[in-house]
Amino acid sequence: MIREITEYEDRWLLRPLRDSCVLDIEWGSDSFELLLNSPLRIVAGYGAELSPRSLALDDPDRHVITHWSTTVVERNLSASIVSAVLFKSGRVRLGFRSGWNMFVSYRQPDVAFAVFSGETLISDRSGMLDQTEYPVAQVDRWTGRRITAPPWPPRPNDLAINYDSDDIND
């Protein structure tokens, strides 16, 4: 298992989930839990969407998980995870070797999604949580190389800029 999470400008690749196989699904009252053959587990709300093969938001076969029976969901998600992406916008995309994809989209802002290692929360829709078990490596999207220096801070919101001035230092 790769223990490192890769961070890009707009997303995290949850590499520790890759190749984890869904062994069972526990159905709760307001969420379900994917139990994996690794120390990780995934908890998601029933507003999560499933689609066979397509990543398209408007795919006619993309539906909330309750569209299918629990037997069908268990059969289609009982596979290894080939891709796990947490977008910084709060969206989530999990790809399974069976060809099925699970999404938590902006269309459902209240849908829960979290990844745990044992009882320790690793990530949720708000992003990665500070923890030491799975280090986060920042990667430059253009070169693919690790970023070892801290990122430039964003421009302060209260920066006074005089756009009418001809002085370059204003």
User: Does residue 92 have a pLDDT over 60?
Assistant: yes
Q: Taken in order 33, 34, 35, 40, is the CA torsion positive or negative?
A: negative
The pLDDT value recorded for residue 57 is 75
Q: Is residue 147 domain-resident?
A: no
What residues does 45 pair with on adjacent strands?
A: 31
Q: Is residue 149 domain-resident?
A: no
Mean pLDDT of the chain: 87
Cβ–Cβ < 8 Å for 117, 65: no
The stretch 12-30 carries a mean pLDDT of 93
**Whole domain around residue 109: which residue ranges?**
5-138
Q: Provide the percentage of residues in the chain whose pLDDT is more than 70.
A: 92
User: What are the Cα distances from residue 128, in Å, to 6, 42, 88, 92?
Assistant: 11, 14, 9, 12
3-state secondary structure of 67: helix
Please tell me which residue, 94 or 108, carries the higher pLDDT value: 94
Q: Is residue 145 domain-resident?
A: no
Q: Is residue 157 domain-resident?
A: no
Structural domain total, the chain? 1
User: Does residue 134 have a pLDDT over 80?
Assistant: yes
Q: Is residue 160 domain-resident?
A: no
For 39-72, the pLDDT digits (tens) are: 999 999 999 999 998 877 778 888 999 999 999 9
How far apart are the C-alpha atoms of 125 and 79, rounded to whole Å?
23
DSSP 29-47: SSEEEEEESSSEEEEEETT
The pLDDT value recorded for residue 152 is 66
Q: Which of 61, 78, 73, 70 is nearest to 24 (CA)?
A: 78
User: What are the Cα distances from residue 81, in Å, to 20, 21, 30, 68, 168?
Assistant: 6, 6, 23, 20, 53
For 158-168, the pLDDT digits (tens) are: 777 777 776 66
The pLDDT value recorded for residue 161 is 72
- Look up tokens 């801070």; give the residue: 153
Q: Is residue 44 domain-resident?
A: yes
Cα distance from N-terminal residue to C-terminal residue, the chain: 52
What residues does 136 pair with on adjacent strands?
A: 5
Q: Is residue 67 domain-resident?
A: yes
